Amino acid sequence: MERMPGVPLSQILQEGQSVPNACLEQIGDAILHLHNLGWNHSDIKPANILINETDAYLVDFNAAAPLGKNYSELSERSFSPSFASWKQLTGRGTVSVRDDLFSLEVTRFVNSTHRHPFRGQSVAAFFSLDANDIYLATKAFGRHFRDCVLEQYDNFQSETQDMQSLN
């Protein structure tokens, strides 16, 4: 296996720096390429992005899963809860492009604000807040990221209601 040059984005962020949006656009392109091949990375986070000057590399494909595969059929699920989508956390439904895109948006948020949107917790822990608290917290997010989070919240609400109606 080839060793990739660069420093993990997580280290750059710990040092109080950020990377240009162009680097994260490169990661977006890499993710799109992976999706076009029928795969999801499934563990997008700053530690899995290497930065080498103006180039960015997506690494650590150990959690990769085929798009459309039921989560319940995966022999192993490996991901970082604080960057994972609601579906990844619950293991319900199928592996989706939206999972990687949500994780990339969390990563973009951390890069631009130097803080985790859910205080380092998972989106599920964030969704355990009162709906008014969620609304107030997401007002501080940029529009695009807020839309991503609220889409996840809609999925969470729907899933929760479905589970309650079964009981």
CATH of the domain at 107: 1.10.510.10
pLDDT at 157: 83
1 is a domain residue? no
71 is a domain residue? no
2 is a domain residue? no
72 is a domain residue? no
Total domains present in the chain: 1
- Going by pLDDT thresholds of 50, 70 and 90, the confidence category of residue 158 is confident
Pairing of strands 65-66, 39-40: antiparallel
Per-residue model confidence as pLDDT tens digits over 11-37: 999 999 999 989 999 999 999 999 999
105 is a domain residue? yes
Give 137's contacts (C-beta < 8 A, 6+ positions apart): 117, 126, 129
User: What is the pTM (predicted TM-score) of this model?
Assistant: 0.90
| 3-state SS class at 49 | strand
Q: State how far the Cα of 87 lies from the Cα of 2, in Å rounded to an integer.
A: 32
